[in-house]
Amino acid sequence: MEEILDRIDELRSKPEKGKIVTFPNPQQLSLSVRASALVFEDAQSKRLLSLIERVAPSDATAFIKGETGTGKELVARHIHALSPRHRGPFAAINCGAFSESLVESELFGHERGSFTGAIANKAGWFESANGGTLFLDEIGDLPLSTQVKLLRVLQEREIVRVGSRKTVPIDVRLIAATNVDLADAVKAGRFREDLFYRINVVPIQLLPLRSRTDDILPLTQHFVSSYSARLRTEAPELSAETIEALRTYAWPGNIRELENVIHRALLVCDGRMLRPRDLNLPTLTRTDGQVASGAPHSGVSTPAASCSLDAALYALLADETDHLYELVNKTLILKAYDHSRHNQVQTARSLGISRNVLRTLLKQFGVI
């Protein structure tokens, strides 16, 4: 344990920008490959690192926003590792993983006999993270009744277990995260406005992987090295075509999708060279509009539709339309969803993406 804590102490000094930063976690040593590194190669990522370094020494509540798979928990862990609380616990929970009837017990704990199945006293996550950091992922999924109690906890710095009247003081730094727009949730009445302002002290926006392309290759090399070691095989080289395919693919699933793609590719490649066909990337989500090498393709072309699409895109580009990528991506997803009569499996199949990625996008767009 002391060796681990000393390693974290080393990380409190500024890491070299443009390199992969790895760090262990005292409470959870079996982190996934994705959750073991940060990359700060892209200019956008370097600005993120600078913000993390300024925020980490304080106890201010950080609010991390970003698409699914962008590494929100990883950033939260890095903030904790660089903070004065780094020798304390780091606890991470997904607020959407618990039913409405159990979420308060999970967060604040409960007393024996407070409800059916409560056979013993149990400390909640706030107590477990005392002296350290508590990371609440998908905080927008908390029911309104729990949001009221969370607001009081943040204001009074004390919790009350379910079934108890005794207050328990806590010393916890909160880091919250979401992949949806909480401002829209506030307007819709799904999230309390006072809680939103209470957690939005230090907003940290994580850009999608497609917006920080200089991070793609270092991340790829990290995953290739890590999974090759796990598979006990020699790490293959990346062909020039593979590098181009990786850099031009849109990565709707972000870093999580990249990790899964590389893991699969290592299982099917010949062991010497990683080629585009090993990636098996979908065809319709490349940023340059071209078919990804090795990706499934029906072979059917529609020249008229292609020309119309080209004309529409050129018109939008000529008009210098704001947020064009997001506009086109959202329009494509929603039109495909309507065309499939809101059948998620059929929509995902027609777009060449997984249903999980589709559900994330539909949730992000406020459809589900």
**Contact, 241 vs 293, CB < 8 A?**
yes
Per-residue pLDDT band for 39 (boundaries 50, 70, 90) equals confident
**Contact, 94 vs 37, CB < 8 A?**
no
Q: Are residues 19 and 85 in the same domain?
A: yes
Q: Are residues 189 and 269 in the same domain?
A: no
How confident is the model at residue 2, as a pLDDT?
Answer: 45
Tens digit of each residue's pLDDT (9 = 90 or more) over 56-108: 999 999 999 999 889 999 999 999 999 999 999 999 999 988 888 889 999 99
Amino acid identity of 227?
Y
* Distance set, CA 197 to CA 66, 126, 367 (Å): 18, 20, 25
Tell me: pLDDT of 26 over 70.
no
Task: Give per-residue burial for 43-81: e unless 16+ CB within 10 Å, then b.
Answer: ebbeebbebbbebbeeeeebbbbbbbbbbbbbbbbbbbb
**Contact, 364 vs 254, CB < 8 A?**
no
* Cα atoms in the Cβ-side hemisphere of radius 13 Å centred on 97: 7
How confident is the model at residue 144, as a pLDDT?
Answer: 93
The better pLDDT of the pair 34, 67 is held by: 67
Going 360 to 143 to 195 to 139, the CA torsion angle's sign is: negative
Q: Are residues 242 and 329 in the same domain?
A: no
Tell me: pLDDT of 186 over 70.
yes
Q: Are residues 64 and 159 in the same domain?
A: yes
Q: Is 94 exposed, middle or buried (0-12, 13-18, 19+ CB in 10 A)?
A: middle
How confident is the model at residue 196, as a pLDDT?
Answer: 97
Q: Are residues 83 and 133 in the same domain?
A: yes
Q: Are residues 98 and 172 in the same domain?
A: yes
Cα 134 to Cα 144: distance, rounded to the nearest angstrom: 20
Task: Pick the last residue of a domain from 251, 267, 297.
Answer: 297
Q: Are residues 97 and 231 in the same domain?
A: no
Task: Pick the last residue of a domain from 263, 297, 331.
Answer: 297
Q: Are residues 85 and 178 in the same domain?
A: yes
The tally of domains found in the chain comes to 3
* Distance set, CA 188 to CA 30, 87, 185, 280 (Å): 39, 40, 5, 40
Q: Are residues 274 and 306 in the same domain?
A: no
Task: Pick the last residue of a domain from 207, 236, 269.
Answer: 207
Per-residue pLDDT band for 359 (boundaries 50, 70, 90) equals confident
Q: Are residues 223 and 362 in the same domain?
A: no
Range of the structural domain that residue 271 is part of: 208-297
Q: Are residues 63 and 168 in the same domain?
A: yes
Instruction: Give the domain CATH number at 90.
Output: 3.40.50.300
Average pLDDT over residues 332-345: 86
Tens digit of each residue's pLDDT (9 = 90 or more) over 294-319: 333 333 334 445 556 766 776 677 66
Q: Are residues 290 and 267 in the same domain?
A: yes
